[in-house]
Chain A
Amino acid sequence: MPDQLVYAMEVTLNGLMAGVLYSLVALGFVLIFKASGIFNYAQGVLALFAALTLVGIQNGQVPFAHMINAMTGGHLTNFGWQVPSVIAILLTGVVMVLLAIVIEKLVLKHLVNQAPIILFMATIGMAYFLEGFGDVMWGADIKTLDVGLPQGINETIESLTDRWFGYGFFIDNLDIVATLLAILLVTALTLFSQYSKQGRALRAVADDHQAALSVGISLRFIWVLVWSIAGFVALVAGIIWGTKSGVQFSLSLIALKALPVLMLGGFTSIPGAIVGGLIIGVGEKLFEFSIGPMIGGATENWFAYVLALVFLVFRPQGLFGEKIIERV
């Protein structure tokens, strides 16, 4: 088999894995958009905040240490204990639920019936606030996150592909774990929204707020629920991205990468988020591999957006989105 083709296959596989990670972030967007019609820009910052909190709890950092030190002149840094990963993840989950409750109480409740663009901008404001808040609470330095996920090259795949093609593929164990987690998460969420009582209430709210209210579904509870789930998805995404490239500000920028994924897949479709993520992941890796060297490289920065833009010109509602019907 020609070398180029084998390399392209490896690139495609890695693209698929990267695409899964994009889908994971995009999933959080879709959940909130479906249930409340809010396009939640803060999803990426939620992931960053979750990862920061997880690291902070794990290492027993004192929250707001920097600020307390600045005010009192002390030298607090941490409590001096290490929390096991499982407990730390659970505690972070609790924090994310609390955050969802606070967001509902302080922000969303007051913005009922506003234009979608106002809600969108409110989430941009929240993103800024959370970004600053996370940094003030846990410090802005780059942290390493380790919850015991396997990392490094997967040797089974390398030896297998070496035997088949005479060239060992480099596939990260972490990416495989991420893929499995993503599949698990999507299955769980689909089951939840199809078969549980709350899940059905959630879909009812998504269809029609007023009709849902009239049959006795509490809108506010559903919103807290949805934001908690989004916080949970953010936590998973934060763990994986944080393990991969450290917990730092750039983590919140993956949210921006999730936007073209959403546009491709359609804002309202969970399968769309997955397929969109895979297309973008594979597309940008292959484009960088084949065309990138000719035009200066680093095309990953913009390829996804331009692809989505061109695609939308031909199909404005995305791949799986509901058809946009406009009435005067």
Chain B
Amino acid sequence: MFYREAGDFKTSYSEDGQTFPIKFDRLRFYAVLAVAFGVIPLFINDYWANAVAVPFLIYAIAAIGLNILVGYAGQVSLGTGGFMAVGAYAVYKLMTAFPEVSIFIHVILAGLITAAVGVVFGLPSLRIKGFYLAVATLAAQFFLVWLFNKVPWFYNYSASGQINAPERTVFGVFVTGAQTSAMAKYMFCLVILTLVALVARNLTRGTVGRKWMAIRDMDIAAEIIGVNPLTTKLTAFAVSSFFIGIAGALFFAVYLGAAEVGESFGIQKSFLILFMVIIGGLGSIFGSFAGAAFLVLLPVFLKNVLVGTLGWPTDLAAHIELMIVGGLIVVFLIAEPHGIAQLWRVAKEKLRLWPFPH
């Protein structure tokens, strides 16, 4: 009744081309933004920020980045953890080398540096496809982690080999370091996530996104109709790595505060983000959010149920969590290979006819 195209007449090109052409969608989008920016910051405390909100926002950025590469351009990558590490170490070097520059600029620059690294590791994608490429990106993962471990310049020759985020402010409010309030962390990540999501959504709707999808669906056919595989694949790697680098920078600077590369950005991280993309839905921006929310909330929920309610030991709960995550992935792939985003699409389709289905 409310969710429909009928009666919603567009009278200008800009109206016709807007991101959410259906009025209900648009209102929902504004409502979500209003809640995220206006309501949640008032109530957020340290527990919710650290356990749920901030990891969700950061993983959502990373998932959008990986979704562009895997879901839109069809290039499977297992090197996400390595690229996040590039973002983290880039922002660390920038923060310590140019303390007077705003952290906001540092985060963007870290993204750009990661994009450059991503393009280098994306070059083999022109020759290698499918599984072979997936395994080739593992080279990025292991090589980058090794590099940040072994070259002391990257961690400023600190004795522990760790990197620690110095305190930085935005408009006089701490966003990194020990004094940061829950609200500041949340808002900083939220602003960046909103920008990233807007850029990603519009890129995927436009020429660039259509080229990516053409390459994904069949690269040879795409080449024949005039899509340049070189620029298309490399832009996919660049844009994807740019977002993943930003996510890595935030993950280190805002969320962790101190990081050790093998532990924070290991192969497990690559898989975690890949799972978010699969469970959420390949080739969908909404899916990246849904997948990130699902995999951030699930462990918190399981921990509360198994350890909090049933009183089981934490190591047992951790193993059962592995089983449930693995099982869910298989179940999702069998029941709905297109992920949560597809469930959402089906629901919208039903809503369009409600309450008078034919």
Chain B: interface residue count, which band? 35 or more
Interface pair A136/B319, CB less than 8 Å apart: yes
Known contacts A121-B333, A128-B326, A302-B142; A116 and B271 CB within 8 A of each other? no
- CB-CB contacts below 8 Å: A284-328 with B: 295-299, 301-302, 305-306, 308-309, 312-313, 316, 324, 326-328
* A114 sits at the interface (CB 8 A): yes
Interface pair A305/B143, CB less than 8 Å apart: yes
Select one of A71, A118, A305 contacting B135, CB under 8 A. Answer: A305
Interface pair A129/B323, CB less than 8 Å apart: yes
B264-296: contact bitstring with A at CB < 8 Å (1 yes, 0 no)?
000100010011001000000000000000000
**Interface with A: B42-50, B125-133, B235-243, which one?**
B125-133
Measured between alpha carbons, how far is A118 from B150 in the docked complex, in Å? 36
Measured between alpha carbons, how far is A260 from B135 in the docked complex, in Å? 7
Residue total for A at the interface (Cβ-Cβ under 8 A): 53
Interface pair B131/A39, CB less than 8 Å apart: yes
Interface pair B330/A122, CB less than 8 Å apart: yes
Interface pair B271/A124, CB less than 8 Å apart: yes
The residue among B145, B218, B329 with the most chain A CB atoms within 10 A of its own CB is B329
Interface pair B321/A122, CB less than 8 Å apart: no
Select one of B143, B220, B316 contacting A70, CB under 8 A. Answer: B316
B contact residues around A111 at 8 Å (CB): 333-334
* A120 sits at the interface (CB 8 A): yes
The residue among B139, B145, B150, B313 with the most chain A CB atoms within 10 A of its own CB is B139
What is the predominant secondary structure among interface residues of chain B facing chain A? helix
What is the predominant secondary structure among interface residues of chain A facing chain B? helix
* A169 sits at the interface (CB 8 A): no
Interface pair B139/A305, CB less than 8 Å apart: yes
Chain A minimum-CB-distance residue to B82: A302
Interface pair A120/B322, CB less than 8 Å apart: no
Measured between alpha carbons, how far is A295 from B143 in the docked complex, in Å? 13
Apart from A67-B312, A121-B278, what 8 extra A-B contacts exist at CB < 8 Å? Answer: A128-B322, A128-B323, A129-B322, A136-B320, A140-B315, A302-B139, A308-B136, A324-B129
Q: Closest 8 interchain pairs by CB?
A: A128-B326, A132-B322, A129-B326, A125-B329, A132-B323, A305-B139, A296-B150, A302-B142
30 A-B Cβ contacts within 8 A? A106-B330, A110-B334, A111-B333, A120-B131, A124-B275, A125-B333, A128-B323, A128-B326, A129-B327, A129-B330, A131-B322, A132-B320, A132-B322, A132-B325, A135-B322, A136-B320, A136-B323, A259-B135, A262-B135, A263-B135, A301-B142, A302-B139, A302-B146, A305-B136, A309-B139, A312-B124, A313-B127, A313-B128, A328-B221, A328-B224
